[in-house]
Amino acid sequence: MDPDFNYYDLEMGSPKEERRTFHRKFNGRLINRCYNELIQCAHQSNSRFAFHALGVIILEYGAKMPDEIKKLIIENSRWIDGRNRFKHKLAPTERKKYLFDFIAKLLEYKDGEIVKFPWVPEGN
């Protein structure tokens, strides 16, 4: 068992916010353990959206993000007016706002910091 975690936090009597914090920290540790595989998967997918997802996962769980990975995610986050590329009809200005917010959060990110996005639903 990992001495960095208090496993009793998972008990039903724990307040929901404590359980949520525990889950974020625990998942952050799991992400760090399989970090290289996640990077490799994003590269193999040949999709800029894989890098967006990777960035959100890293920020949401406070995982490590070396500068070269941060740079790679930002490079894959350039604004492209994709009116004809997406199935959903989210207004381009709204999509652009979220993308620029994402990039700003990436630029300010420090390892271990948990970043919340208003457009990502809360977990348990």
Q: Each residue of 11-63: pLDDT tens digit?
A: 555 676 676 777 777 777 888 888 889 888 888 988 888 998 899 989 988 88
Give the span between the Cα atoms of 114 and 21, in whole angstroms: 9
- pLDDT per position as a tens digit, 59-113: 988 888 989 889 999 998 887 755 555 556 666 777 788 888 999 999 999 988 8
Handedness of CA 98, 20, 54, 111 (dihedral sign): positive
Report the percentage of the chain scoring pLDDT > 70.
Answer: 72
Q: Is the pLDDT of residue 10 over 60?
A: no
Instruction: Give one word for 6, left, alpha or beta, with left for phi > 0 and alpha for psi -120 to 50.
Output: beta
Residue 49 CA neighbour count, 13 Å, CB half: 4
Q: What are phi and psi of 85, to 5 degrees?
A: -100, -20
